[in-house]
Structure formats: C-alpha cells, structure tokens
Structure 1
Amino acid sequence: MRLLILAGLATVLAAPPAMARAFPDPQQKPAPGNEAPQTPIAQAGYSVATNYQLQCAGCHLGSGEGSARNDTPKMSGFVGNFLRVEGGREFLVRVPGVAQAALSDAQIAELLNWILDPQHGMAGASTPAGFQPYTAEEVARVRHNALLNLPGTRAGLIARMRAQGIAIDDGMGQP
C-alpha cells in the first residue's frame, strides 16, 4: 500500500505544471476591446427596457411570461396583483432578483414602475387603480431587508389574493 501511495505521489510530481494559474499573471494584457475597466450596470445609463433585459428577462423571459418549468412565475397580466394585498408592495422590492440586481435604488424604482405601469407595462390591468409609483427612497428602505423564505412569503401573499377573490394566473399551474 505504501508503495502505491509513493508511486502516485511520484506521478503527480513528475507531471508537467498545470496550464491554469491560481494567481493572475501581472504581465498579462487584456483581451482586445477590454482594455478599459467595464462600467458597472448601475452607472451605464441604460434604458429601463435594457435594464429589464439584463436583470429580469433571464428568468421571467422577454415579455414577462415566466417559466413554470424553471419555477419562475409570469409577470405579464398578473404581477400588479401583489399591490392589492398587504405586504405585496414590499415583496416586489425584496424578491432576490430585484433586491440583488446590479442597479441603483432609483433604477429599481424606475424598473418596477415600468413593469407596473397600468397602461403600458407588462402588469397591465392587474395593477390597481391609484397605483403609487415606487421612489428610490422607498426602494432603499425596503431593499436590504432580506427575504428569507421566498416560497412561503409568496404563498402567503397568493393566499391573501385568493381570499379577496383575485384569480391567480401566474403561470405556475395552480389556479
């Protein structure tokens, strides 16, 4: 057994050095086009639609249709219903994809308002009349309160919606 271990150790020591480095090479030049440091998304000045594509569409898809297969509820025609129940407004800011987005508080407020716009947003008629737009200050107050039980919190809000007679059409297969 000892001989086997020594033979294995000798093989490892005799192997050529690995090509990957654990530490970056200070002499390495950046790839063409990457010479300047990247601008953080929050400072890039993208439109709200571009921010949606960069921060939300990966899960909720391009038009907010979601994907039950990936456990991602749809937003289109539904997400405004969260504003109809106690705790729903804060929930939309605290959802991890929103709270942890690479956007400023003002950009998150702008993005939520864009999604929830009753006339032009993907929430459509699900947004209640009298919707008060989010502000950067509100987002800043709520955003950093971690949502520790996303499924449980969401289920509680959905139960409140059902108690109010709101039809649940979130694409998750549970009418």
Structure 2
Amino acid sequence: MIGLAGLAFAGPALAAEGQAHRDYILRCAGCHGMEGLGSVEGGIPTFPGSVGKIAADDMGRTYMMHVPGVISASLDDAGIASVMNYILDRWSPGEAAPFTPDEVTRRRAVPVADVVVMRRDVAKKLMSEGTQIADYPWP
C-alpha cells in the first residue's frame, strides 16, 4: 500500500500518465479504438504487435510524427510525446525508446510529401529486415 508520502512523490508522474490517457481517448481512440485495434475498413492500422516495431526504426519514428491524427491533434510537442509514449507503453512496452518533446519537434519539421507512401516505405524496409507490422490497406 502506498502511503500519503508515496502518493505525493508519485503524483506528477501519475497525473502526466492520466493526461496522456485522456488525450489518447480524445484524440486517438476515435480511429484506433480503446484497444488500439484500428479498422481495416477505415485504413487505420492496429497498434498491438506493430507500433513498437515502427517506433524502433528511425524512418518509422518520423512517419509516426506525420500521421494525420498526430498532425491534427492540437497538442504541443510535449503533449504529443506524452501520448506517443502512452501508446508505446500500453501496446509495445520496452520495444522502442520513448519520444522526447525535442525529438517530436525535430521530426515534425521533416518535410513529408505523402504519409501513405512513407508508411509503405517503412513497411517495406521493416519487412526486408524480417520485421512484420500491421497491414495498411490504403492503395
């Protein structure tokens, strides 16, 4: 059992995790669902068994910062890092390094002409390395 002193010490970390969870619900769950399963019909890839593999790849990390839901999330870079880390912790614990706000800023500044083409390039690269990720049914 955590005493009051333990709660005071853990408070900011628990509050940040709670905010990331709320931001996930408000900004991500509409497409990816509460279980991170996405939708084949909607062209939304699933998180389990996939998101950590993408985040473990340099090009994959840049791709993640350009998906439509991240671009339109109306969060600052620290908020995006927090939500991305919530997603990684929930569906791929230990598979990839956490995002930092500085990394989010840097990767969002990289020009990406077509995020669908970039997703295909990431998938092709990972597959050539023997890493399978979730299907992406977009043309």
Tell me the TM-score normalized by structure 1.
0.62
What count of residue pairs does the alignment treat as equivalent?
Answer: 121
Matched, 1:102 2:71: no
Aligned residue among 106, 121, 130 for 1:156:
121
Distance 1:155 1:47 in 2: 32
| Counterpart for residue 20 of structure 2 | 48
Aligned residue among 131, 134, 137 for 2:102:
137
| Counterpart for residue 3 of structure 1 | none
| Counterpart for residue 20 of structure 1 | none
**1:68 aligned partner, one-letter code:** V
| Counterpart for residue 29 of structure 2 | 57
Larger-gyration structure (1/2): 1
| Counterpart for residue 123 of structure 1 | 92
**2:97 aligned partner, one-letter code:** Q
| Counterpart for residue 3 of structure 2 | none
Deviation at 1:132, TM superposition (A): 2.4
Deviation at 1:71, TM superposition (A): 0.7
Identity %: 32
- Relative to its length, the structure with more helix (as a share) is 2
- The answer on whether the counterparts of 2:66 and 2:115 sit within 8 Å (CA) in structure 1 is no
| Counterpart for residue 39 of structure 1 | none
Distance 1:84 1:163 in 2: 15
Could you report, residue by residue, the CA deviation over 1:37-87 in whole angstroms, capped at 9, with x for unpaired residues? xxxxxxxx8711110011111111111100000111111221111133341
Distance 2:106 2:129 in 1: 28
Note the residue ranges of structure 1 that are not aligned, 5 or more in a row. Answer: 1-44
Distance 2:56 2:98 in 1: 14
Note the residue ranges of structure 2 that are not aligned, 5 or more in a row. Answer: 1-15
Distance 2:40 2:104 in 1: 28
- The answer on whether the counterparts of 2:36 and 2:46 sit within 8 Å (CA) in structure 1 is yes
CA-atom RMSD, angstroms? 2.0
Q: CA distance change for structure 1 residues 142 and 167 in 2, over 3 Å: closer, same or farther?
A: closer
| Counterpart for residue 48 of structure 2 | 76
Q: CA distance change for structure 1 residues 91 and 148 in 2, over 3 Å: closer, same or farther?
A: same
Distance 1:75 1:171 in 2: 11
